[in-house]
Copies of this chain bind each other. A is one copy, B any other.
Amino acid sequence: MKIEEVSGGICAVKGVRAYGIKEGSKGLALIEGGGKATGVFTLNKLKAAPLLFTKRQLENGRISAVIANSGCANSFTGEQGMKNAEKMAELVASALGVIKEEVAVLSTGPIGAQLNMALIEQQLGEVAEGLTSDDTGSTEAAKAIMTTDTFHKEHAVSIDAGNAERVVIGGIAKGSGMIFPDMATMLSFIYTDAALSEEALRKCLKDAVDNSFNMIVVDGDMSTNDMVLLVATGRSVTVTEADFKAGLNQVCKALAKQIARDGEGATKLIEVRVKGAVADAKNIAREILRSPLVKSAIFGEHIDLMCGRIIATIGSSAAYVNSKGMSISVRNENADAILAVKKGEFMDLSDSARNIMKGKELFIDVDMAAGEEIEVTAWGCDLSYDYVRINAGK
């Protein structure tokens, strides 16, 4: 079995057409392509209207189209918000000739305001007109759902399992701030032509999300609007669940890393691996990436401050800590790893070791030296002036 990256995002999948437009902060994306569908939703108790609506839609297990707007989250908007989400589905149903019960509706943007339905109706006409199965369709849809994102996010793979026909999995995503499990202010739409049972799709998506979108941290804030949607058109040859899962993991990880790299104000992508924990390895990795002190030390490129603060973060977690065994090593995209903390002791770091912090991608390995828990990986970014500027609306 071989997994290869391919171009085209969601439009790499046969039968999927997409398009999107953006006017100022208000964008609208439309995706056409029917099949078995399953989703993973934010755990925030104050779920936005479109999420509540789409969760209900998914009870049928089938989606024919997705509409998603940016610039307004339609969150904390009461009865009117629910009516507007439903109205969006109706508009899509009549524009595309699909049934209303099979339209997923998503919104992303600031919380509290009502949607401008006149604008959405007008934009929908134009977007429906533009639907295409070309690569550009996926790209325009991905661009339309951007908010504070600085680049659009898409990824697709084809799985070569030795059959005549290859299975394709393609996704787009948005997300930049308010990023923390479970889940971030993010949306992701993933399509595949794999023929799998609904049960298998659900299991594979849950697993892939747990190890990708649920392992990225920008600021520790949990949004009211997050969801990942997987639609399987079932037009392709059958694929084993294991092969599909490997491909889906790859797509989700690639999209999650793109979100972390594009974290609001980020100047560096950070990968934290934690091994040797008794339990809680995931929490340790995520709390390290949540700490404003760790993140600003990385922005300032200070390896000593960073390691000291990583240790304080680990100590404040619920995890069992072996203070005399714990090690931390650091490398960047160009340089070999150096041991910064060796079995509980800070190493005297040379200038060349300090230079590691100048990399654009930092890899931080924490060995808890306490147990046998499986190694986990999480992704995040540093905390810069621009994070503050963006979120202060300056």
- Chain A residues packing against B (C-beta within 8 Å): 43-47, 73, 75-76, 78, 110-113, 177-178, 219-224, 290-293, 296-297, 299-300, 302, 304-305, 307-309, 311-316, 321, 323-324, 341, 344-346, 383-385, 387-394
By a CB distance below 8 angstroms, the chain B residues around A323 are 46, 76
**Complex-state Cα separation, A241 to B45, whole angstroms:** 43
**Complex-state Cα separation, A383 to B46, whole angstroms:** 25
Copies of this chain present: 2
Contact B394 A321 (CB under 8 A): no
Contact A44 B297 (CB under 8 A): no
Q: A46-B323, A219-B292 are in contact. Are A304 and B388 (CB under 8 A)?
A: no
Tell me what chain A mostly uses at the interface: helix, strand, loop, or mixed.
loop
Contact B46 A388 (CB under 8 A): no
Q: How far is the CB of A291 from chain B (nearest CB, A)?
A: 5
What are some 21 contacts across the A-B interface (CB < 8 A)?
Answer: A44-B312, A46-B323, A76-B344, A78-B344, A111-B308, A111-B309, A112-B311, A113-B304, A219-B291, A221-B293, A221-B309, A222-B312, A222-B313, A222-B315, A223-B312, A224-B312, A292-B292, A296-B387, A383-B388, A384-B392, A385-B385
For A383, the closest partner residue in chain B by CB is: B388
Which of A219, A309, A388, A389 is most buried by chain B, counting CB atoms within 10 A of its CB? Answer: A388
Contact A388 B384 (CB under 8 A): yes
Q: A112-B311, A305-B110 are in contact. Are A388 and B296 (CB under 8 A)?
A: yes
For A111, the closest partner residue in chain B by CB is: B308
Q: Which of B312, B383, B387, B388 contacts A111 (CB 8 A)?
A: B312
**Complex-state Cα separation, A315 to B75, whole angstroms:** 11
